[in-house]
Amino acid sequence: MSLKKINIVIAGATGFVGLDLVKILSSHPKVNIKYLCAQKKLGKKIQFFDKRIKKKLPKISNLSKVKWDNIDVLFTSLPTGESQLIVKNLIKYKRLKIIDLAADFRISSKKTFKKYYSKNHKAPELLRSSIYSISEFVKEKIKNYKIISCPGCYPTSIQLPLIPLFKKKLIKTQNIIIDSKSGYSGAGKNLKKKFKHKNVYSSIHTYGLLNHRHIGEIDQEFYKVLKKKVNFDFTPHLIPTFRGMLSSIYVEINNKKSIKLIHKELINYHKKNYFVKILPINKELGTENVINTNFCEISLCKLKYTNKILIISAIDNLIKGAGGQAVQNMNLLFGLKENLGLK
């Protein structure tokens, strides 16, 4: 990889995810931020939205002002549905790579996309030319794709521990219970429009019990590995903290496998994955160590019943669950160290 910097555009730069993405990329040694785009507050400095960002950067502009011929990467951090036509119109630029942080290209079936997002896909011909990119699972393949689809925060926290165990056939594919809790930033800046209950910033609230949008991509990715449907129940909760995500996953062990064996195999699978840390067996786990980082911490715990174990997975929903993983994917895409510019 040459020493030339990567010219980037960020669309949706002023949302919670967008601002974390700008903050990370503003200190990335191989990045040159050319445009920060949004639909409101045009002409404002990025510090108007987030005083954590110290570097002098381009003022907020409209995406229509971008001169695409010298852009290497477009990051789209927009509400689901908005990047489809943008990408469709820009796919002609040969050097341009698109890294999408919404769900526009996560689901490979337009029928399934409509089921979970209640809208028709506007660029279905591009769905199969994109790659669903949890960084740890696509390190070599990602370089062959133009459209990089970053996964949701819940699916990231769930798949990092489960996919390796499915591949090794160490756990059963039925009766899996996934109990996940997310900081309220996961609902975006329009939180109060989405959640009408009182005390939204000081209470715990379940939502999306039967049809949470992330179920579609979890189903899809499990099927890719196992070639059959996995039976799981998923309950997401919004909790009164700004960032952080904790998934508690209850699984049954296959063929009397021991927790020590499962723990060893998980360590072995992730030994070269810089951002995944497997803790000692029965180690209590929270989000305190992963906040403001791109790390995922995983703990395996014994339960009362010997045929079951509890897997706990912690990430920062805005970083490993969004902006950080997007930058990790960019690093892989351009042959850089995957942890460059990340912590």
Tokens standing for 266? Answer: 């998980």
338 occurs within a structural domain = no
The CATH code of the domain that includes 180 is 3.30.360.10
Domain range for 59: 6-151+321-333
- Asked if 246 and 290 sit in the same domain, the reply is yes
pLDDT of residue 197: 65
185 occurs within a structural domain = yes
When pLDDT is cut at 50, 70 and 90, the band that residue 202 belongs to is confident
- Asked if 139 and 171 sit in the same domain, the reply is no
- Asked if 84 and 119 sit in the same domain, the reply is yes
pTM reported for the whole predicted model:
0.94
pLDDT of residue 305: 79
Task: Please tell me the total count of domains within the chain.
Answer: 2
pLDDT above 90 for 196: no
- Asked if 106 and 215 sit in the same domain, the reply is no
196-234 burial: b if 16+ Cβ within 10 Å, else e: eeeebeeeeeeeeeeebbbbbbbbbbbeebeeeebebeb
Average pLDDT value for residue range 16-26: 97
Question: Residue 72 is which amino acid?
Answer: D
Q: How far apart are CA 221 and CA 227, in angstroms?
A: 10
80 occurs within a structural domain = yes
Q: Radius of gyration over alpha carbons of the chain, in Å?
A: 20
Q: What are phi and psi of 208, to 5 degrees?
A: 55, 40
Contacts of 94 (CB under 8 A, 6+ apart): none
207 occurs within a structural domain = yes
**Alpha-carbon torsion (290, 197, 80, 221), positive or negative:** positive
**How many Cβ atoms sit within 10 Å of the Cβ of residue 118?**
10
**Strands, E assignment, 19-146:** 31-37, 60-61, 73-76, 97-100, 130-132
Reduce the DSSP state of residue 181 to 3 states and report it. Answer: strand
Q: How far apart are CA 122 and CA 164, in angstroms?
A: 34
60 occurs within a structural domain = yes
1 occurs within a structural domain = no
Query: Which residues belong to the active site?
Result: 153
- Asked if 77 and 217 sit in the same domain, the reply is no
341 occurs within a structural domain = no
- Asked if 92 and 166 sit in the same domain, the reply is no
Dump pLDDT digits (tens) for 25-67.
Answer: 999 999 999 999 999 999 999 999 999 999 999 999 999 999 9
- Asked if 113 and 74 sit in the same domain, the reply is yes
Distances 216 to 85, 193, 202, 220 between C-alpha atoms, Å: 22, 24, 30, 6
Dump pLDDT digits (tens) for 129-182.
Answer: 899 999 999 999 999 999 999 999 999 999 999 999 999 999 999 999 999 999
Contacts of 251 (CB under 8 A, 6+ apart): 162, 165, 171, 172, 176, 308, 309, 311
**Strands, E assignment, 54-187:** 60-61, 73-76, 97-100, 130-132, 147-149, 176-183
- Asked if 283 and 261 sit in the same domain, the reply is yes
Tokens standing for 45? Answer: 């400095």
Dump pLDDT digits (tens) for 85-136.
Answer: 999 999 999 999 999 999 999 999 999 999 999 999 999 999 988 999 999 9
- Asked if 101 and 164 sit in the same domain, the reply is no
